[in-house]
Amino acid sequence: MRLNPKHLASLALCLFSQPLAGTEGKEPPTFSEHIAPIIYENCTTCHRPGQIGPFALTDYQSVKRRARLIAEVTGDRIMPPWHADPCDVEYSNDRSLSPAQISLIADWVAAGSPEGDPARTPALPVFHEGWQMGKPDQIATMAEPFTVPAEGPDIYRMFVIPLNRDQDTWVKGVEFRPGDPKVVHHILYFLDTTGKAREYDARDPGPGFRDKSSGGFRYMGGWDIGTQPGELPYGLRWFIPKGADLVVQVHYHPSGKKTTDQSSVGFHFSDQPTSRPWSIIPVPPHFGILQGIDIAAGEKERIERASFVIPEDCEAFSVNAHAHYLGKRMEMTATFKDGTTRRLLRTTRWNFKWQEDYSFKEPVKLPAGTRLDVLMSYDNSESNPNNPTRPPRRVRWGPATTDEMGSITLAVMFDTKERKEATHEALRVFLAHQLIDRLLEGKEGAFGLSGQIGNAKSLEEARRPLLALDLNQDSLLSPDERIPAVQYILQSDFIRRLGAIGFD
Ligand code: HEC
């Protein structure tokens, strides 16, 4: 056996815990009384036949067989998957085990994983195999099955499903049902009212089309392995405009066996419109397209920061981070006008495979003037085990999973539609400032700006009006000089062409 640090850790755990368990003279924990309740409650949702977990954890034998590994992955907080560190907020969907549960598992393994009295083992929870939220009002299923090979890299595929709604519709809940849960890793929903998704689909052979990232479609949310479907909180509703197509981006992870997938989305409609206007505040917007992300080959820690001052009172109810394989640290902190701070999300173990919506237990009030500070770090070195490119190469912003992105998104509700619209406008101004920065730097490579700003044919031409505003010619724009600069950018087509930032 090769000894790797993981094995050493579990060896140390055994050597260290065994005498302790004995010397305290306590009865060691048993499977039936102590361990089964933890496993059945926290692991078996995914670790049972037909689900995403690579093996079942459904009885004493199956748990005992992997007891050492279970102590290791729970001790290292690798399982259950949950990547947010404790923060200044509590999350209602927190999957992590308590320190007491973790040490109970360690003690049990150290004591030789005894079963105890089988009669005391609790029954497995009842898992609903069908729709968890009951029968949906409309089921949208992929038109054809998609073949997922046994091996090879992960696949991102977009599927367009016409909803054929002949009227505007309010939706209170969405439930995703993977066709083959062994290979469907996560999905994102979008709505398309432009017909573009159908065009892409028609042009691409085979079911669906190759990932175009968001392709300018309207983001609606997502689903992850282990997501518990439920209604939107606080009486909030999604809006599906009449005639919109559903576009589903599916991330497939080959399972070692060739298979096909034909997933479905179930919609639960509502007679009632949304209780309050709500939307998202992504910092930076559009997954950081104008952030200037440019990471040198081998760079160990590239830090990106972005700050946004919320212009209107709102209440946040969940947070979500997005980066690709090089992402490491993702943090969002709110700083209130009195200088106090509240950290809303922090992960030092960003994992592309587990994209989560972290739902706040209580809504977080964010008065106008609160500043959101985002920090994202990337590791483009060879020592990053998730780095998809070996040897590492320069990585810039882009839609492919081997490119990078970065953004942390708050879901927020407002008292009035005006406040929501003013917030969207402030996000557009934020983008305009980012675009001005990039133009002044003369960096267009990452996002190809030429010809997209007004009638400018080149980057030089697009920059000229900005440089003309720079009266002291220091290639920076003062806050005063920025006012007409922002106007110039907002009047150009570029920001509008990026698509809507939040929800209708
Ligand atoms: C939300 C779904 C989910 C839950 C909940 C979950 N697992 Fe897993 N588990 C997985 C998946 C998927 C994998 C495969 C590795 C991966 O994709 O990260 C895995 C892998 C594992 C492995 C193998 C790790 C390795 O390094 O080979 C162990 C052991 C494990 N899980 C134990 C547990 C235990 C114990 C619990 C509960 C305390 C648990 N899991 C809860 C989904 C889950």
Q: What does the DSSP assignment read for 242-284?
A: TTPEEEEEEEE---SS-EEE--EEEEEEESS--SS-EEEEEES
Query: Does ligand 1 have an atom closer than 6 angstroms to the CB of 226?
Result: yes
CA-CA-CA-CA dihedral for 340, 344, 348, 354, to nearest 10: 180
Q: Is 112 in the pocket of ligand 1 (CB under 6 A)?
A: no
Task: Please choose from 43, 96, 108 the residue to mutate so as to test ligand 1's pocket, defined by most ligand atoms within 8 A of CB.
Answer: 43
Whether the per-residue pLDDT at 401 is higher than 80: the answer is no
Region 364-388 average pLDDT? 97
Question: What's the gap in Å between 444 CA and the centre of ligand 1?
Answer: 42
Range in 308-317, 342-351, 367-376, 467-476 the model is least confident about: 467-476
Q: How far apart are CA 64 and CA 41, in angstroms?
A: 17
Ligand 1 atom nearest 253 alpha carbon: 17
Tell me the average pLDDT across 154-161: 91
> pLDDT tens digit string along 203-235?
999 899 986 555 578 888 788 766 677 889 999
Rounded distance, CA 298 to CA 381, Å? 4
Q: Is 53 in the pocket of ligand 1 (CB under 6 A)?
A: yes
Q: Which segments of 29-75 are extended strands (E)? A: none
Q: Which residues fall within 8 angstroms of residue 239, CB to CB, at 6 or more apart?
A: 168, 169, 170, 171, 274, 503, 504
Q: Is the CB of 56 under 6 A from ligand 1?
A: no
Residue 44 Cβ contacting ligand 1 at under 6 Å: no
pLDDT (tens digit per residue) in 58-75: 999 999 999 999 999 999
Domains of the chain: 5-120 (no CATH), 138-270 (2.60.120.310), 278-497 (2.60.120.230)
Atom of ligand 1 nearest to the CA of 226: 1
Share of the chain above pLDDT 90, in %: 62
Ligand 1 touching residue 80 (CB < 6 A)? yes
- Closest C-alpha among 306, 266, 262 to residue 285: 306
Q: Find the 172 Cα to ligand 1 centroid distance in Å.
A: 31
User: In degrees rounded to 5, what are phi and psi of residue 189?
Assistant: -100, 145
Instruction: Give tens-digit pLDDT for 404-440.
Output: 999 999 999 999 999 999 999 999 999 999 988 888 8
User: Is the per-residue pLDDT at 382 higher than 90?
Assistant: yes
Give the β-pairing of 302-309 and 264-270. unpaired
CA of 264 to the centre of ligand 1 (A): 25
* Residues contacting residue 202 through CB under 8 Å, at least 6 positions apart: none
Averaged over 448-466, what is the pLDDT?
Answer: 66
Least confident of 9-23, 129-143, 152-166, 277-291: 9-23
For residues 7 and 75, give the distance between their C-alpha atoms in angstroms, rounded to a whole number.
Answer: 12
CB 439 within 8 A of CB 432: no
Question: Average pLDDT for residues 33-52, to the nearest whole number?
Answer: 92
